[in-house]
Chains A and B, each alone.
Chain A
Amino acid sequence: MIGAGSLPAVAEHSRLIWGLALALAVALWLWGQTFLPFAFDYPKSAQIPAARWIGGAITWLVKEAAIGPIAFADLTRAFSALIDGPYQSALGLLADGVQRQEAGQTLQLVPPLSWLAVIAIMALFAHWAGGAGLAALVAGCFVFVAIFGHWHATMVTLASIVVAVPLGVVGGLGLGILAWRHPWFDRALRPVLDLMQTMPVFAYLVPILILFGFGPTAAVIATLIYATPPMTRITTLALSRVPSETHDLATMVGCTPRQRLWRVLVPSAREPLLVGVNQVIMLSLNMVIIASMIGAGGLGFEVLNALRRLDFGTGLEAGLAIVALAIALDRLSQAIAHRSAGAAPKRGVARHTYLLAALAFALGTGLIGLILPAVQTYPEAAELSTSPFWAALVEWINITFFDTLEAVKNAILTWILMPAKRFLLGLPWLGVVALLGFAGWRLGGLRLGLLCSGLSFLIAATGQWEKAMITVYLCGISTLIAMAIGLPIAIWVAERDRWWTVTRLVIDTLQTLPSFVYLMPIVMLFRVGDFTAMIAVVAYAVVASVRYTVLGLQGVDPRLIEAGRAMGCTPWQILTRMRLKLALPEIILGLNQTIMFALSMLVITALVGTRDLGQDVYIALTKANPGNGLVAGLAIAFIAIIADRLLSAAARSAREKLGLEGAT
């Protein structure tokens, strides 16, 4: 541990060691080419054929694996059925009704819920949970979707959410309770959750595709893998935070173990648990677009399709429809959380009144809809589209500013992107592995050092070094630019409440917008390539750098600032010597988050033709090659884990040096 670096002698010593390590690395880089060629190109003969192994293992799973008489394939089929049944019912209710195929024609036997009925039911639900204001908001969101002509797609998406969320909540709760009860299970689960959360979703799409086939079921499973970990973590945390008096109460009134868990502990932890439910909903919505790549259909498919056709308007509208759905479900779930916390005043209207009203609406509009089609489905004639407007706008910008845009793009490419790429690709892998191990050791001890060098070695050993370096280069530069933009903004707004309110609104909105929506206008302006990817990543990641820096700056003790002023510091000195310094741990955390955002966006930018690991994952998806996809995905996860652990360790040691951290 280093921690005690405030003593001058120790600081001197530590600087010396760092200098030495860096000098060694530079020496290897400059002169190693002739003496140690294998340090630059990982020898092919020593490569670990991980992709082939994994591909083989999955083929074996699908074709041969069996536990006694039950084949693995039967298990997956049973699991699919478990999801498919509820999904088909939800889909029928919301989107398709009951249909029958007859002589190549689809007969509509029973229509789905009419659009008016869905809006009314949602509004009634919102009214029950949070009053008239919420009802208006929720109804507004759904009307918006109908007006822009995405009703059917939205209902398809809603159907998969309606199935995925309860499964994710129950699964997460169950795993969380197990982890809370049995420390060994917790220890085993933690790294799995870490991996699930850092691995890009694309990486496990392919295995899922192979195991469960193309279709909504596979999409729901992918969504579950993505959305369940936070629920699990929150459950474990919430249960361990229940005050000890509450445990004592359970013992003193003589609860059985089951009564203790379900009647005392889980209800006491209800508020954080409902935050977890909310997380599951939001993450499921995040997955909508990616899930549509393996057959989810709905809004995600519309965005994806628009992206392929470069139809920015339609893509934006479908993206906004996802946002509208997210806002409605988010507010609704939060209102329910508040309500069950006993905060809502008692209203005179009984629950069955709401149920009756909902039922009446469903039947009434259904029957009227048989005569008046506009009641059943939103009339096409009344739909709006902004697509032509956006297309015209982009075209106008392209024509008017073409030269300027090209000049900017070329300048950045030649002066920043290309040199950085060349530099990183020229580094010897051995030196990088060693340096990462060294950094890990200095910042967090031997275990961290071994972890960092081990993971980076695996990247080299599976033959992905070059692609990984391109990933690092794109991600690194985007992160630097995001920080360079984010820091000044954060410093500016941190002290100005009005500006911060506005900024927060903007970054909250940006974060709910599906990342794909960012891509489209940028692709239309700059066409595909590294530069486009970089802009998209920066646009997506800058949010994190602003948010955390503001958090850190606002957390600085105002008494210290006053003391500084009293000592006659200039505003600049107060900023650089005190505020930024004290906010350093949060800023480092923000950097960490920015990198995570950048990495997750990077995979998506593969769609616009970068040459990094993301591209590998994506190609594997289109070719249904599970081995390659998983290996490339794992490599991205490794990069994320290395960055995360190193920066967390750095933040911790910064906090220790500032004396902000005690025994924890």
Chain B
Amino acid sequence: MRRGQIKPGSLMSDDSATLVCRNLWKVFGARATEAFSTAGGDAARLAALGLVPAVRAVDLSVRRGEIFVIMGLSGSGKSTLVRLMSRLIEPTAGQVLFNGQDLLTATEAEMTQIRRHKMGMVFQHFALLPHLTVLENVAFPLDVQGVARADREARAREMIALVGLAGREGAYPRQLSGGQQQRVGIARSLAVEPELWFLDEPFSALDPLIRRELQDEFIRLQSRLQKTIIFITHDFDETIRLADRIAIMKDGQIEQIGTPQDLVLHPATDYVRAFTGAVAKAKVARLASLVTPGPVPEGLALLPARATVAEAGQAFLDGQVQVGVEENGRPIGTVAREDVIRLLLGGEA
């Protein structure tokens, strides 16, 4: 049934996993739980009962400090999945482990504490409170916890400066542009120093230029903060720019989980192939995948193994036949020009 590339071991809630989902299901509709226990995971039978299986048998684990992107077309169940992970809605079946604790058995009070201190969420349509200023909006999660005014405002100012809105603290949401509003949303979600950061299509409501700008901002923030991030999008370019790992969803199921390079170079299903087909492989393939291990001759340019092939292209322009590759400062091998050209022209790596 599972077609992803995850090795069995990685599903265990090992130390590096912040959030783990096991066989997670969400079926919408009247009396869904009973119907699910009789019909099981048979999508056709569920549909015949007028039920919508929005998330089906999802297994995944999100590692500490990574950007985990969930992507899929509209209606594929992405939002439902994050809402299950934060237990905004109750799953029909399955488990969600956060730092090894089963969220589904946590009491309401425990959940409130976890959400207050460990989770942050950024919303597609910002969800700013219209009656509060920027400062009050960002301080709101702390206010709800009962943090003293001076402390919470100091923290909020810090966050506002972090997202580049210093000076606009007194403005109301409606006086800000969409991009600025989402910066406020980001600042607010960071105010409680969450361990796990959810972003549900945070940039979808923005126009392309602003989107690009906020993506850069986001990358800059993450390089400083090193949060564990679950990021939802339906934009593949965005995915490739941001993701450490990607889960591709279709009709509530996960088609494949892997690094951008994995998905482009080794699509597990036709759906993933169609999805990733339009992407120039050179943009995702890393030099590491083309390297011939061995000693690096003196005088060759050294490029990092993490660089994409497209980035490496420059180095061949002045007629070189090969370049050296280094990882963590140590030379590990060379990459030949023919291999790079073959990949750029669309052949297999």
Contact = CB atoms under 8 A, between A and B. Distances in A.
Interface string A374-385: 000000000000
Nearest to B117: A254
A342 B112 contact: no
Given A263-B144, A341-B130, A252 B174 contact: no
A267 B173 CA distance: 14
B127 interface: yes
Given A253-B115, A253-B116, A268 B129 contact: yes
Interface string A123-155: 000000000000000000000000000000000
Given A254-B115, A341-B174, A343-B174, A249 B127 contact: yes
Contacts of A85: none
A342 B144 contact: no
Contact of B113 (A254, A255, A259): A254
Interface stretch (A191-199, A240-248, A512-520): A240-248
B132 to A, nearest CB: 8
Contacts of A245: 123-127
B144 A251 contact: no
B115 A252 contact: yes
Nearest to B174: A342
A105 B163 CA distance: 73
Contacts of B144: 253-256, 259, 263
Interface string A229-247: 0000000000000010110
| Interface core residue of B113, B116, B130, B172 (most chain A CB under 10 Å) | B130
A270 to B, nearest CB: 6
Contacts of A477: none
Contact of B131 (A254, A255, A342, A346): A342
Interface residues of B, number: 29
| Interface core residue of A243, A253, A255, A346 (most chain B CB under 10 Å) | A253
Contact of B86 (A252, A263, A340): A252
B141 A248 contact: no
A459 to B, nearest CB: 41
Contacts of B126: 245
Contacts of B127: 243, 245-246, 248-249
A248 B112 contact: no
B112 A254 contact: yes
Contacts of B140: 253, 263
B154 interface: no
B121 interface: yes
A252 B120 CA distance: 7
B175 A342 contact: yes
B145 interface: yes
A248 B83 CA distance: 9
B253 to A, nearest CB: 24
Interface string B6-22: 00000000000000000
A643 interface: no
B43 interface: no
B310 interface: no
**Interface SS of A by simple majority:** helix
A256 B112 CA distance: 8
Contacts of A268: 129-131
Interface in A312-354: 340-343, 346
A268 B140 CA distance: 14
A264 interface: yes
Given A263-B144, A342-B174, A343-B174, A252 B130 contact: no
Contacts of B88: 248, 251-252
Interface residues of A, number: 23
Contacts of B86: 252
A340 B144 CA distance: 22
Interface in B20-44: none
Nearest to A271: B130
A129 to B, nearest CB: 16
A340 B130 CA distance: 9
A346 B169 CA distance: 13
| Interface core residue of A254, A263, A267 (most chain B CB under 10 Å) | A254
A249 B172 CA distance: 18
A342 B130 contact: yes
A231 B148 CA distance: 35
Contact of B141 (A253, A340, A343, A346): A253
Nearest to A248: B88
B162 interface: no
A256 B131 CA distance: 19
Interface in A455-513: none
B130 A248 contact: no
A267 B123 contact: no
B165 interface: no
Contacts of B83: 248
B240 interface: no
A257 B281 CA distance: 51
Interface in B102-139: 112-113, 115-116, 119-121, 123-127, 129-132
Contacts of A267: 129-132
A254 B175 contact: no
Interface in B262-283: none
| Interface core residue of A248, A259, A340, A341 (most chain B CB under 10 Å) | A248
Contacts of A248: 83, 88, 121, 123, 127
Nearest to B82: A248
A259 to B, nearest CB: 6
A268 B127 CA distance: 10
Contacts of A264: 129
A270 B172 CA distance: 15
B136 to A, nearest CB: 11
B131 A340 contact: yes
Nearest to A342: B172
A264 B188 CA distance: 15
B125 A254 contact: no
A339 to B, nearest CB: 11
Contacts of A271: 130
Nearest to B171: A342
A216 to B, nearest CB: 35
Interface string B157-173: 00000000000001011
Contact of A252 (B121, B170, B175): B121
Contacts of B141: 253-254
A249 B127 CA distance: 7
Nearest to A343: B174
B179 to A, nearest CB: 18
Interface string A265-289: 0011011000000000000000000
Contacts of B119: 252
B86 to A, nearest CB: 7
Nearest to B124: A245
A254 B129 contact: no
A534 B205 CA distance: 56
A270 B173 CA distance: 15
A211 B240 CA distance: 74
Contacts of B124: 245
Contacts of B192: 253
Contacts of B112: 254, 256
Interface string A288-325: 00000000000000000000000000000000000000
Interface of A: 243, 245-246, 248-249, 251-256, 259, 263-264, 267-268, 270-271, 340-343, 346
26 contacts: A245-B124, A245-B126, A246-B129, A248-B88, A249-B127, A251-B88, A252-B86, A252-B88, A252-B120, A253-B140, A253-B144, A254-B112, A254-B116, A255-B144, A256-B144, A263-B140, A264-B129, A267-B131, A267-B132, A268-B130, A268-B131, A271-B130, A341-B130, A341-B174, A342-B174, A342-B175
Interface of B: 83, 86, 88, 112-113, 115-116, 119-121, 123-127, 129-132, 140-141, 144-145, 170, 172-175, 192
Closest 4 CB pairs of A and B: A342-B172, A254-B116, A253-B141, A245-B127
Given A251-B88, A252-B121, A270-B130, 9 more contacts: A245-B127, A249-B121, A249-B123, A249-B127, A252-B120, A253-B115, A264-B129, A341-B174, A343-B174
